[in-house]
Structure 1
Amino acid sequence: MLEIRLPEGMRDAEAADWRRMGDITGEAFAEDPVNLWIFGRTDALTPVFSQLARHLYIPNGICHLAGDRGATMWCLSDRRKELGALATLGLVWTLMQKGSKGAAKRALTAGETMAREHPKDRHLYLFTIGTRKAERGKGLGKQLISPALAAADKAGMPSYLENSNPANTGFYMSHGFERMKLFEPGPGAPPLEAMWREPKPQDAI
């Protein structure tokens, strides 16, 4: 397990925080091209991310909150899990109710494609990072991403993410991520940008 030191104002998410995690993340991704292609409606974002936080990332991953302002969902690559049968049914039901026509199929296709493109080497995976709209431009993104990356550096572990919004490429590059490739999560979808970050040597930190 990584030794992550959180600054004042940040904490580990607990089991009861799944709704807050989903609400913050849903708001953060409201203008995200890939997620809008998958779900079709912004109404689906918060319930989908809430369920993923509840059933996958809080129990199996590394989730952080900065009050009600921002949230991150990480996971070590060798601890990544699939949704259980009941949770999958719940997610499909949510997509049918909240998403546009075909959202469940697009989500399944995107998930399969992302899994196929995922690097095999052990790494720290950043699933989501996001802030409330009112908190953008205040340096909160840096505060959210830095503790886990510092821990990865200390452990000599690389990191990986799929950037779903070109507007965020510069932010990720400023934290050491480099583009691996672009790939489409489904036919006609906006591209995802696979990004990789090698750990910084300790004497360079």
Structure 2
Amino acid sequence: MSPETIDLGTGLVRATKERANDVGDITADAFREDPFNRWLFGRADGMANAFRALARHVYCPRGLAYTLYDAGAAMWMMPGGDLEPPLAAKPALLWAIMGKSSRGAYARANRAMSAMEKAHPTMPHVYLFTIGVRRAQRGKGLGRKLIAPVLTACDREGLPAYLENSNPANRGFYGSCGFERIGMIEAEAGAPPLEAMLRQPRAL
């Protein structure tokens, strides 16, 4: 499955590298109260910087990143996609995390990424890195509109989808979309856990 085969539908616009900041800013606003990301970055500015950098260097050029007007955004990676930032972009990513985050954020990020990599499924799957709706736009069904096109494509192609839920408040939403818990991930003792969730494709 490639991003080009996914019909995003009305209102959803694929983001190029030039619009990576839009994806990062929307995502950071949506994740501002997220327990795991608050622990990881410590400050909202650091969160925004990191999401912008990851959108620019990984998810816009290699995966599928898109926005729903200025209200929501999502970042996905297709089966076999490379989640590792390119070597040339690592200094920028390092600065993005360290420049505006609280002390120790880069070390926490490395531990978190290591734990996430160990838990990541090995079979072909579509990976949902982030999905979020701005806090002022919640309660309008926009999350379901954001997630639906890729899940529909997963069902068509017979592919599972995987995510790490970083906020217990979102468990019901993901469950209603067909995701089930397959494990818990702890970056370190005392860190808010991530919930590894997998969705098997549905028959169309």
The TM-score bracket by the shorter chain reads: over 0.9
Look up the equivalent residue of 1:153 and give its one-letter code.
Answer: D
Q: Counterpart of 2:27 in 1: which secondary structure?
A: helix
Look up the equivalent residue of 1:155 and give its one-letter code.
Answer: E
**Contact 2:77–2:83 (8 Å) recurs in 1:** no
C-alpha distance in structure 1 between counterparts of 2:83 and 2:200, whole Å: 24
- The answer to whether residue 41 in structure 2 is matched with residue 42 in structure 1 is no
Q: Counterpart of 1:63 in 2: which secondary structure?
A: strand
Q: Counterpart of 2:196 in 1: which secondary structure?
A: strand
Aligned counterpart, 1:74: 76
C-alpha distance in structure 1 between counterparts of 2:191 and 2:70, whole Å: 31
- Post-superposition Cα deviations, 1:80-101, rounded to whole Å, max 9, x if no partner, equal 2311233222222222221111
Q: 2:112 aligns with which of 110, 113, 127?
A: 110
Residue 133 of structure 1 and its aligned partner are, at CA, apart by: 1.1
C-alpha distance in structure 1 between counterparts of 2:40 and 2:188, whole Å: 9
Residue 15 of structure 1 and its aligned partner are, at CA, apart by: 2.1
Q: Counterpart of 2:80 in 1: which secondary structure?
A: helix
Q: Tell me the number of residue pairs that the alignment of Structure 1 and Structure 2 aligns.
A: 202
* Structure 1 stretches of at least 4 aligned residues deviating more than 3 Å after TM superposition: none
Moved more, 49-58 or 59-68: 59-68
TM-score by length of 1: 0.95
Aligned counterpart, 1:61: 63
C-alpha distance in structure 2 between counterparts of 1:95 and 1:11, whole Å: 27
Look up the equivalent residue of 1:100 and give its one-letter code.
Answer: S
Coordinate RMSD, CA, aligned: 1.1
Residue 10 of structure 1 and its aligned partner are, at CA, apart by: 1.0
Aligned counterpart, 1:123: 125
Aligned counterpart, 1:100: 102
Indicate the percent of aligned positions where both proteins have the same amino acid.
Answer: 49
Aligned counterpart, 2:85: 83
Aligned counterpart, 2:25: 23
TM-score by length of 2: 0.95
Q: Counterpart of 1:92 in 2: which secondary structure?
A: helix
Q: Counterpart of 1:179 in 2: which secondary structure?
A: strand
C-alpha distance in structure 1 between counterparts of 2:196 and 2:126, whole Å: 14
C-alpha distance in structure 2 between counterparts of 1:93 and 1:8, whole Å: 36
C-alpha distance in structure 1 between counterparts of 2:157 and 2:95, whole Å: 40
